Amino acid sequence: MNPMKFDIKKIFAPGKGVDLVCNMHAPAPTSRSSIIFDADYSNNTLTIAQPFVPVSPESGYDTLHVTSVVPGRHQHMRVGMACRVQKCIDRYPLAGSAVSKALVLHCDLPVFETNIRAAFRLPLGSRHLVRAKLLFRETDYYTAADFKILDISFAGVGIMIPKKVKTRTNPLTRLEHHDVLPMGLVLVDTKEAHPVGALALTVQVKRIHTDHSKTHLLAGLEIIRITRDNETLLNKFIHDAQIAELKRLSTLR
């Protein structure tokens, strides 16, 4: 598709969620979610909320892009444009008496389609939850009883495993580096009556820290197989959770 067909005013409008991607073309790009507060299209600038992990001209990235997801006829696509931080604002006024830290981005047109799975790990809180099941050696293991999800990203899942379940050794302590496991996720927003969605994927054990504590070990699982629709669902869940937390923090400042 011709990049000029993407309308910046529709895609990057005030109130829309966006992701700032650092070093998009590097082997390990990182993504930081935000929301657009204001736009000045005549000067190609966007004013956005400062992400959880702050971004500034001194952050040490080589390239910076602002991206968003656009619904398509058959599938969603991620589009973006190169940008730079023009100004950091400590107290940007919001509705009422609320204020928030903000960034003014100068953007370089055109908007173009990109395929990026940048990794921002979402720590799970009280509102957005993930229930999960792991299949290991022909046995199903579940969150709460057998392991806990610490964080999740577009690229992987961090889990904490108790070394014992009641009085028995937890079989998940026998996980080994490079083990491949089927995994099921149920994505939950506690403000909604029903789960956001359920998805199946395949993960591979990439890291194991057996000495995390006397009672628990940590494991890092990389997502190695996921359908495009499920990836879009997970992407949206993580993004919506980050935006909700940004809005919550804005009311506290």
Closest CA to 221 of 131, 173, 151: 151
Along the 253 residues of the chain, how does pLDDT read in single tens digits? 444 478 889 899 998 888 888 888 776 677 788 889 999 999 999 999 988 778 888 888 889 999 887 766 545 677 899 999 999 999 999 877 788 899 999 999 899 888 665 555 666 777 889 999 999 999 999 998 999 998 888 778 989 999 999 889 999 999 999 999 999 999 999 999 999 999 999 999 998 988 878 899 999 898 999 998 898 888 888 878 877 776 665 554 4
Q: How far apart are CA 131 and CA 189, in angstroms?
A: 11
If one looks up domain 122-242 in CATH, what number appears?
Answer: 2.40.10.220
Domain ranges of the chain: 3-119, 122-242
Contacts for 29-33: CB closer than 8 Å, 24+ residues apart: 29/116, 29/118, 29/119, 30/118, 30/119, 30/120, 31/116, 31/118, 31/119, 31/120, 31/154, 32/120, 33/120, 33/238, 33/239, 33/242, 33/243, 33/246
> Do 3-119 and 122-242 show the same overall fold?
no
User: What is 3-119's CATH number, 1.10.357.10, 3.40.50.970, 1.20.5.510, 2.30.110.10?
Assistant: 2.30.110.10
